[in-house]
Amino acid sequence: MSLKALPAELLLLILSELPRNDLLIALLLNRHLNELARRILYRDLVLPGTAPERCVQCFKTLCAQPEDAKFVRKLQIDEFLVLTQPLGGLGQLFRRVMRLMSGLLVLDIVCGHDLVAFLGDLHFPRLSEAMLTLHPSTIPFLSRHPALENLMLTQRPGAADSIIMPPGQHPPSLPELRMFSGTDSALETVLGPHGAPALRSLTVRWTTSSDGFIDALLRPRRESFRQLTEFVSSVPAYLPELVPCAARHASTAVFLAIQHQCSDLALIPATYWEVPIHLLAHPTSTNSPQNLFSDIDTHIGQFDRLKVLGLGSFSSAYPHTEPATLMPMLRDELFRVIDWGIKCPTLSLCSFATRTQWVRAEASSKDAQADAALLSGPKNEFLASRMWAPRAAGSPVADLYLPCFAFIVITEPEGRLPHQYADFFQTATIGNSETIAHIRGLPGGQGLELFMEIYRREQAAALTAVSVALA
């Protein structure tokens, strides 16, 4: 069978797997392959700023060959390209070539210069995703594209907090919008009270000026949040309004994440996360501690369908790499997730800034019966009190998490933890009450050393089974 006999759809799939240099060879084989290879070459047009002359030449080529411009589905322009070219001439060339891209689906032109202004009243009938910088021309552009499904807006460096609407101009109506990501001011400017009824995912980068303003921003837009399943917040500091407002206005969220914008975990004040001990000892109405964890404690029960809770930072470091520091961290987190899981029965995964993930099996899991057998308890008892277990796949000491977790459980005073935890680890992991009593009676780290020795020698398979069952 010759290549000419293959359907065009199949040839396109084959060509799409080829490296760019091979595609350039395919252009020279015959007219049919030439046309199909051009569709692939121009489908995703990414213009890097490292070779601005070649990028400009690409625009000129598309203007000279308008049929090729119709093949472009994604256009991404590097800001450096804009900075290295005279804006006036580049803008006019940009408008000429954009007029030809009738099949455009994705537009990514995040840059300080307002390239969107050069588009004038152009409309792209198939555009479904846009990544733009918030400029005055952005609002009318969005109004001309009500079929947008995904929208990401960034703020211009040093720009004012929001765009002032010209008289008679209103926020665009985006009835098909599923995902919005932007700053608090972008949310205020772009999403009207009823502007996005189909919204499923909301990501907001809050600023220090957000404090005291969050409820006023979210409350009028509650109608747009009725189908919201994902609410992600990036914060510069503790914002007292954030969690209460999320619970009131985005209670349908299945995924809730609050990320501190600091990339160094050590620079985030401890009071951002934790209740200060000296305040816990004598709490009053005037010194009642306010921080992220206490807000979650109070409001997590208001989320009807929450499954995933992420509380972290932009740091990629693992702060604990030794059992001596890992143990108290895991102990604090264990008690916290048990409490949150009781208040929010749908919760099944919780991650912290320590980059530990706590997981418990879903009540609807097809493996629930097998998990129940593993935990040596009746099925209904297991489903009512699903067991949390830690994991940290990327940690340099990932293999220590489960044994440290097991040691915490068996050495905790009786009654402090739900009985399923102690029942499992005492019977399945050690299986000897005298050994457990001996471990509990050892001073300092000697108990942990003995437990780790037993774990490595005899019981690794049992804890591996826990990891598999709750992964």
Cα dihedral sign, 216-222-225-230:
positive
In this predicted structure, which of 145-159, 187-201, 270-284 has the lowest mean pLDDT?
270-284
Residues 381, 387: Cα–Cα separation, whole Å:
11
The pLDDT assigned to 3 comes to: 67
- How do the domains of the chain map onto residue ranges? 1-43, 48-148, 175-268+290-317, 364-471
The pLDDT assigned to 90 comes to: 76
Size of the chain in residues? 471
| Confidence band of 195 (pLDDT split at 50, 70, 90) | confident
Q: Please state the rounded mean pLDDT for residues 72-79.
A: 86
For residue 308, is pLDDT > 60? yes
**Token representation of residue 301:** 């029960």
| Confidence band of 292 (pLDDT split at 50, 70, 90) | very high
Can you give the pTM of this predicted structure? 0.81
- CATH class name, domain 1-43: mainly alpha
Helix, strand, coil abundance in the chain, percent, nearest 5: 50, 15, 40
The pLDDT assigned to 469 comes to: 42
Residues 382, 462: Cα–Cα separation, whole Å:
18
Q: Please state the rounded mean pLDDT for residues 296-305.
A: 94
pLDDT (tens digit, 9 = 90+) per residue, 25-40? 777 677 777 777 787 8
The pLDDT assigned to 366 comes to: 42
Average pLDDT score, the chain: 79
Q: Using a CB cutoff of 8 Å and minimum separation of 24, what contacts does 176-181 make?
A: 176/146, 176/147, 176/148, 176/149, 177/148, 177/149, 177/150, 177/151, 178/149, 178/150, 179/149, 179/150, 179/151, 179/203, 180/151, 180/152, 181/151, 181/152, 181/153
The pLDDT assigned to 400 comes to: 79
Q: Please state the rounded mean pLDDT for residues 410-416.
A: 79
Q: What is the 8-class DSSP label of residue 456?
A: I
Q: Select from 105, 55, 94 the least CA-distant residue to 78.
A: 55
| Confidence band of 318 (pLDDT split at 50, 70, 90) | confident
% of the chain residues with pLDDT over 90: 33
pLDDT (tens digit, 9 = 90+) per residue, 211-248? 889 999 999 998 889 899 999 999 999 999 999 999 99
